[in-house]
């Protein structure tokens, strides 16, 4: 189905300006890349919420998020009206666009272990998923950086990962870590060949051998988060990056090391994690300190 023609006809009938049409088609192309090979008839509200959340985490402005949301409303309303889909997935959800503020949901150290160890590496998909999420947590890399990894970017002998042109087109090298190295090696040496016969190309592939889509990465994360009974906490794949940084700082890592690991341009961005840690300490202090929670009476 040529959705571009359908959209263009709709936009022209509505009398939209050429500039507005171009902006909407920019959002159309961005969404279709995220959609990958998923059937539009299978798109639900959770998928669309995940898409907008991904745009937020990639640092798009509030204006761009609003434009993306407006396009989705136009697109799925049109598809529903033309009977290409049975129901409009946006009719049963309210996606709120807000300014980015502070740190997103972070798993504590016990929850990360619970999440990761629940992914049993006994099938090809299980081995791949365990390798992906161990790598995300160990390195703190972004989801898009992970799916853009090629085999040549891994140096298993040296225990290093080369992240090519991450956010702000900045290259960096990060340590692989023994645990992530174990599962990545298992994936590359044993299971990847079941999906992809080529030795080079993307590290993480879909069952057809192509590069894994960002939406598929989030979908697999949602599946395993549910299996670990950690749903409804606002966790996304980006939470593993936040968790990596937070846990390093909690355990005494130098803030400048964390800045280099995450690829932050400014140390002020990294410093936001220390604020989050302090807020947690304050909550614990208020809850458990006898002079705060009034467990013990005042001396008189």
241 in active site: yes
Catalytic residue, chosen from 24, 56, 128, 264, is: 264
Catalytic residue, chosen from 130, 220, 238, 242, is: 238
289 in active site: no
In terms of C-beta density within 10 A (0-12 exposed, 13-18 middle, 19 or more buried), how is residue 50 classed?
buried
Separation of first and last alpha carbons in the chain: 80
Catalytic residue, chosen from 56, 130, 220, 241, is: 241
Catalytic residue, chosen from 56, 130, 142, 220, is: 142
Catalytic residue, chosen from 273, 286, 288, 291, is: 273
41 in active site: no
273 in active site: yes
Backbone dihedral region of 292: left (phi > 0), alpha (psi from -120 to 50 degrees) or beta? alpha
Known catalytic residues?
142, 167, 238, 241, 264, 273
């Amino acid at each position: 189905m040529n959705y571009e023609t359908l959209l263009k006809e709709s936009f022209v009938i509505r009398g939209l300006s050429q500039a507005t049409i171009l902006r909407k088609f920019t959002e159309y192309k961005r969404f279709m890349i995220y959609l990958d090979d998923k059937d539009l008839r299978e798109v639900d509200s959770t998928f669309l919420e995940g898409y907008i959340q991904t745009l937020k985490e990639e640092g798009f402005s509030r204006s761009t998020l609003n434009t993306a949301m407006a396009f989705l409303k136009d697109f799925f309303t049109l598809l529903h009206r033309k009977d290409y889909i049975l129901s409009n997935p946006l009719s049963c959800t309210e996606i709120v666009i807000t300014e980015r503020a502070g740190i997103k949901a972070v798993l504590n150290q016990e929850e990360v272990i619970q999440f990761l160890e629940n992914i049993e590496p006994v099938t090809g998909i299980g081995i791949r998923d365990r390798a992906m999420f161990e790598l995300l947590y160990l390195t703190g890399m972004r989801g898009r950086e992970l799916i853009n990894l090629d085999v040549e970017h891994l140096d298993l002998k040296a225990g290093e990962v080369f992240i090519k042109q991450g956010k702000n087109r900045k290259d960096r090298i990060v340590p692989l870590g023994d645990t992530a190295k174990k599962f990545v090696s298992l994936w590359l040496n044993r299971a990847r060949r079941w999906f992809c016969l080529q030795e080079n190309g993307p590290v993480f592939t879909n069952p057809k051998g192509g590069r894994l889509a960002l939406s598929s990465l989030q979908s697999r994360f949602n599946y395993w988060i549910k299996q670990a009974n950690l749903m409804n906490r606002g966790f996304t794949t980006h939470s593993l990056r936040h968790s990596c940084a937070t846990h390093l700082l909690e355990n005494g890592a130098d803030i400048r090391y964390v800045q280099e690991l995450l690829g932050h341009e400014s140390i002020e961005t990294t410093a936001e994690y220390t604020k989050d840690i302090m807020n947690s300490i304050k909550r614990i202090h208020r809850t458990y300190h006898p002079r705060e929670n009034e467990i013990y009476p005042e001396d008189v």
